[in-house]
Structure 1
Amino acid sequence: MFDIQEIRSQFSILNRKVNGKPLVYLDNAATSQKPDSVLKVWDAYYKELNANVHRGIHTLSQLATEEMELSRRKIQKFINAKYDFEVIFTKGTTEGLNLISYILTRKLKKDDEIIISYLEHHSNIVPWQLLCERTGARLKVIPMDENGVLQMDVFDTLLNERTKIVSMNQVSNALGVINPVEEIIAKTRKNTDAYIVIDGAQSVPHFTIDVQAMDCDFFVFSGHKMYAPMGTGILYGKQEILEELPPFHGGGEMIATCSFEETTYAGLPFKYEAGTPNVGGNIALGAAVDFILETGHENIRTHENALLEYAQRQLLEIEGLKVYGEKANRTGVVSFNLEGIGIASDVGMILDKLGIAVRTGHHCTQPIMNFFNIAGTVRASFAVYNTFNEIDVLVEGVKKAQKMLG
């Protein structure tokens, strides 16, 4: 059975106070808190195993290597990759997207086209703009409507023989809107031979991922949004594509042989893992996978969806409060503003004084904010350890902010 108090007991940070008030942490779309089991694994690596991986014959190096490769296999199963060597350790979603845009450079030429959506984080906009600058390709954007729902009829008109890349987030970080990636992938496969890139930063913490069933070419996500340490992340890529494309960084670990005349590259996954990895973080990422699986995907999604529904219903009872993406299919996020209060950060600062952590601003999605003609929003985002009582505290805090600022 799902026991919220037992879940919360695994997160020591939730016992602390902020400004004399119990912490209400509702900034999970930015980063989640870490369960003690993950922190214990991270701590144990540095206390008991600290050594570089893959290159040492001594015991600590061998043990550290075994633990990191075990984590890789856990993640393979977690996203249902076909092979463990299709799982590349990165620093996070942003590095994964930049890696992909770089290694695809030679695959594009002038007037080729890249399709993204209006709902993208800057990290799924800027790398493609840079790729366009390098190659002369053009960026096309799927528009959204007033509910933050992508206009799929326009997507149909954008797809053509010049489309070489389609890159999309599965869930919007700013609005929590769930995008129809299955439909997008099916239409792309039917009409083009474009590479398909899915940003899973905001979906992996909330529901089950199956990259084989999805049939994407690349899938990227961050560890720190799914209960793992910062500076961790994953790039999944299909074997045949990763083997064909060039490496991203040069240096140790990614070579097979190196001389002044010529260098040959290591096989997957090491071809894309130059330099010393974040060994402790990567091992702890496997522990975060364990936590999610032990808690249960269905339990997580059911609880978080109930939180979202309750939060939106309670917030909308506040006169003059607007929820963005209110009628869209969403998960994990409620993004809102108060009428007559022009700066979302003012609301955020008052909430902070009450111990409530939310995110304010444009959330690295300035095109979305421009669409709504606003500077930013107040964003409350949920994780499995959040409670209905915490939402009640949030609602009362918003009411207080409205009185103080109105």
Structure 2
Amino acid sequence: MGLQQSDALDAARIREDFPILEREFDGEQVVYLDNGATTQKPNQVIDAIADYYRNYNANVHRGIHHLSQEASIAYEEAHDTVAEFVGADGREEMVFTKNTTEAENLVAYAWGLNELGPGDEIVLTEMEHHASLVTWQQIGQRTGADVKYIPVTEDGYLDMDAAAEMITDDTEMVSVLHVSNTLGTVNPVSELADIAHNHDSYIFVDGAQAVPNRPVDVKDIDADFYAFSGHKMAGPTGVGGLYGKREILEAMEPFQYGGDMITKVTFEEAKWNDLPWKFEAGTPVIAQGIGLAEAVEYLEDIGMDAIRRHEEALAEYALDRMAEFDDIEIYGPTDPTDRGGLVAFNLDGVHAHDLASIMNDHAVAIRAGDHCTQPLHDKLGVAASARASFYVYNTTDEIDALMDAIDSARQLFA
């Protein structure tokens, strides 16, 4: 199926690893273009999770029997695998969370509530996902810290001149998307980290739309915190990663309390466990963590540079196809090298939800709504948008199918 726009990877071969892509609806094979919401899972990840449940299912760090030891080793090594994938210095800097949202909340509660107060500032961007915007908004209200927003320009970029003025010595935290889940913009996170650190501020980078499809090195970025979700990178739901600089994590209080995050408990006090277990209270995401590590190995076998080139090529093809029509409005940068593999758009005279419904009639799966960026949509002057988002198994033939479905909607509403 289909042309690939570069020689980066063999999408047709990769598709064979994803059984769900063989599904049909009313005789039409599914065209899955909702990868920004969640990606499909390869057999390798499915098998790794099933192998855990079939062969060594046990709780970790709680037993001396063989099954517990095997599970504990696999779970700990999963931290090593994921930490190395993003350039962290070992498992101590890689906390497994439920998802990116929980990672944001972990830092906001464990660090923000203790460190922020009146006169302090939190700097976000106008393109933030609700996971960041709502979390820090609420922390600001609880602590008295002010929340400011770096503007988004008309062509979908961050106003970096404004950012340099807004981040001041009063700024304690800068939270920014690495790649916008609506505009697709690849933000200059290293430059923002430099600005933040020049003012003794921390920077939290939301990498949910970056880690799945491009090489990420948290040390090169110099992020203080960096978060991502497993289900958006061919891994299972219910697991994500929070990178944090070791010295910062060690100074932070736990986010949750319970089993395994302690070393000693008396009726009067408790002492916390070592990193990263200090932040993983209770029975952790064992199967999911093992599945996430398998997803990392799967992506590494393909090559993250190849994945990035493939997504850029698909985005370029989609942008070129959409640019042929005056009735399609595209949001975000027009240069595919400045954006991730997704395109948010609207068709004149057709609500995004109606468009998605018509797409579904043609077995084309896209997203419609505000994509958890309501304030950004308010700024764009639209209530909702449609979004097609691509991954390693997508092809240009599928983008052609998307365009055919758009044409069906155009004719229906003519």
Instruction: Give TM-score scaled by structure 2 length.
Output: 0.96
Could you tell me how far apart the structure 1 residues matched to 2:61 and 2:314 are?
44
User: What RMSD over aligned residues (CA atoms) do the two structures have, in Å?
Assistant: 1.0
Aligned residue for 1:129? Answer: 137
Q: Does residue 1:337 correspond to 2:346, yes or no?
A: yes
Determine if contact 1:20/1:355 at 8 Å carries over to the other structure: no
Q: Spell out, residue by residue over 1:344-382, the C-alpha distance to the aligned partner (whole angstroms, 9 max, x if none).
A: 010000000100000000000001110111011110000
* Matching of residues 280-359 of structure 1 within 5 Å: 280-327=287-334, 329-341=338-350, 343-359=351-367
Aligned residue for 1:57? Answer: 64
SS at match of 2:295: helix
Could you tell me how far apart the structure 1 residues matched to 2:346 and 2:333 are?
12
Output the amino acid matched with 1:128: W
Q: 2:97 aligns with which of 59, 76, 90?
A: 90
Aligned residue for 2:203? Answer: 196
Could you tell me how far apart the structure 2 residues matched to 1:62 and 1:247 are?
25
Q: Does residue 1:392 correspond to 2:400, yes or no?
A: yes
Aligned residue for 1:146? Answer: 154
Aligned residue for 2:3? Answer: none
User: Percent of pairs identical after alignment?
Assistant: 44
Aligned residue for 1:158? Answer: 166
Aligned residue for 2:22? Answer: 15
Could you tell me how far apart the structure 2 residues matched to 1:278 and 1:303 are?
31
Q: Spell out, residue by residue over 1:213-239, the C-alpha distance to the aligned partner (whole angstroms, 9 max, x if none).
A: 111110100000000000010011111
SS at match of 1:52: coil
Q: 1:234 aligns with which of 220, 241, 245?
A: 241
Q: Spell out, residue by residue over 1:236-272, the C-alpha distance to the aligned partner (whole angstroms, 9 max, x if none).
A: 1111101111000000011111111111111111110
Could you tell me how far apart the structure 1 residues matched to 2:292 and 2:413 are?
42
Deviation, 1:18, is 2.4
- Gapped regions of structure 2 (runs ≥ 5): 1-6
Q: Spell out, residue by residue over 1:91-141, the C-alpha distance to the aligned partner (whole angstroms, 9 max, x if none).
A: 000000000000121111112000000111000111101211221001000
Q: Spell out, residue by residue over 1:246-301, the C-alpha distance to the aligned partner (whole angstroms, 9 max, x if none).
A: 00000001111111111111111111000111211100100000110001112111
Instruction: Give TM-score scaled by structure 1 length.
Output: 0.98
Q: 1:45 aligns with which of 43, 47, 52?
A: 52
Could you tell me how far apart the structure 1 residues matched to 2:56 and 2:68 are?
8
Could you tell me how far apart the structure 2 residues matched to 1:326 and 1:404 are?
29
SS at match of 1:148: coil
Determine if contact 1:217/1:237 at 8 Å carries over to the other structure: yes
Aligned residue for 1:257? Answer: 264
Work out the number of aligned pairs and report it: 404
Could you tell me how far apart the structure 1 residues matched to 2:376 and 2:250 are?
36
Q: Which runs of 4+ in 1 moved over 4 A?
A: none
Could you tell me how far apart the structure 2 residues matched to 1:4 and 1:179 are?
27
Output the amino acid matched with 2:257: G
Output the amino acid matched with 1:99: L
Could you tell me how far apart the structure 2 residues matched to 1:402 and 1:292 are?
37
Deviates more, 1:384-393 or 1:297-306: 297-306
Deviation, 1:326, is 4.0
SS at match of 1:172: coil
SS at match of 2:325: coil
